[in-house]
Amino acid sequence: MSAQTELAVVPPQETALTVYSTPNGLDPWLDQVRAKVDEFKKVLPDLKTRKGREAYASMAHQIAKSKTALEAVGKEISAKQKEIPKLIDAERKRVWDTLEAWQKEVRKPLDDWQDAEDARVDKHNDGIEAIKALAKFEELPTAAHVAQVIADLELLALDDSWEEFLPEAAQAKDQALITLRGLHAERARHEAEQAELARLREEKEMRDKKDREDQIAREAAERATQEAEEKAQRARDAEAQRVRDEQEAAERRENDLKLQAAEAERRAEQAKREQVEAEQRAERERLEGIERQAAAVEQARLDEVKRQNDAAAEILRQQEAREADTAHRAKINRAALAAFVAGGMTEECAKQAITLIAKRQIPNVSIAY
């Protein structure tokens, strides 16, 4: 600000006491500052430019200098004139508050612009942090969950709405995808290993079950044999005793023994049949379990192949869409260039005009794609 527009003016020393001692005595000086403020506000600088923002800050600084200068004179008079401190202090406060309000009034557009700029930057930074957070998990996720996160992240659009943060957002997305794909491969491998361990445990449990059933069958057969032998021995003892006692009774008891032996043999045969049936049933259950596990593994493999194919198709579709959009925009830009040149512009000027319009740097003018 030049010397002619300097706002830091104070009353002359010889009249300062009268001015500060008179209610509203500093109004003429305040009017000078207000006139400069009003003149400044007639043509407000452009906040989009650095020069414009510096102009706002400079004007607010000049008001602050006037505020400080008038305050300093008042303080000096108050120190020398103890008899009128209340009048001077009241005027000091009034002038301070007035100039403080004017300072805030002038600086408000700059502060509002800075708040909006900070909010815009914070929004983009929050978006980038959200992308990075997709690759972080408090607990180990399943492969299916990681695959869903990858699919969602791949669909995230990175366009001009990210403004100057587009490269950083693209880098965050690429890094997150690399991390997620590595995690997905690791979790899929782990889950496959766990499935194989479960299959092996199931086979072992089936073998153990069959061994227990075989043991039970053997013990039942042994008990039946032992019982038969004991009964046979008792029968023989009884038969000897009966032979000694009475031949007729011995014959009758011999017939009874034959019947008992036949029954024991029948029970032994029955036990053998039950053992064979148990073994066959256990074998069928083992084979069915193997078949179910194999079917589940194959289905998981087919599902993963389908998901990978779908993801690859989606990436190809998005790439083709971007290439088609780029070709479409280039075609429209060439048509506009030809129109500008046909209208009398040089090709270089026409290219610059199209570039500025495409970047939306020309107010109220756009290209319809």
As a three-state string, the secondary structure of 125-166 is: HHHHHHHHHCCCCCCCCCHHHHHHHHHHHHCCCCCHHHHHHH
The residues, any chain, with a CB within 8 Å of residue 113's CB and separated by 6 or more, are 47, 53
Q: Which two tokens stand for residue 311?
A: 């993801």
Give the position of tokens 């930074």: 125
Give residue 61's pLDDT. 93
Q: Which two tokens stand for residue 267?
A: 């029970």
Give residue 21's pLDDT. 84
In contact, 102 and 37? CB cutoff 8 Å: yes
In contact, 106 and 38? CB cutoff 8 Å: no
The residues, any chain, with a CB within 8 Å of residue 89's CB and separated by 6 or more, are 74, 78
Q: Which two tokens stand for residue 319?
A: 């790439």
In contact, 271 and 220? CB cutoff 8 Å: yes
List per-residue pLDDT tens for the chain, 369 residues long.
333 345 557 888 888 888 888 899 989 999 999 999 999 988 888 888 999 899 999 999 999 998 998 888 888 887 777 766 777 788 889 999 988 999 898 888 888 888 888 888 888 889 889 888 888 888 888 888 889 989 888 888 888 888 888 889 889 888 988 998 988 899 889 988 888 898 889 888 898 888 888 888 888 888 888 888 888 888 888 877 766 777 765 566 677 778 888 888 888 888 888 888 888 888 888 888 888 888 888 888 888 888 888 888 888 888 888 888 888 888 988 888 888 888 888 889 888 888 888 888 888 888 887
Residues 220, 221, 226, CA angle at the centre, nearest 5°? 100
Rounded to whole angstroms, how far apart are CA atoms 114 and 127? 20
Handedness of CA 325, 328, 332, 338 (dihedral sign): positive
Give residue 65's pLDDT. 92
Give residue 3's pLDDT. 33
In contact, 369 and 328? CB cutoff 8 Å: yes
137 Rama class: left (phi>0) / alpha (psi -120 to 50) / beta: beta
In contact, 56 and 102? CB cutoff 8 Å: no
Q: Which two tokens stand for residue 276?
A: 């064979």
Q: Return the number of other C-beta atoms located less than 10 Å from residue 67's C-beta.
A: 21
DSSP 12: -
What are the residue ranges spanned by the domains of the chain?
3-133, 143-301, 325-369
Rounded to whole angstroms, how far apart are CA atoms 56 and 145? 53
In contact, 127 and 153? CB cutoff 8 Å: no
DSSP 137: -
Crossing angle of helices 166-245/85-133, nearest 10°? 50
CA nearest 110: which of 176, 25, 17, 44? 44
Give burial (CB, 10 Å; 0-12/13-18/19+) of 26.
buried
45 Rama class: left (phi>0) / alpha (psi -120 to 50) / beta: beta
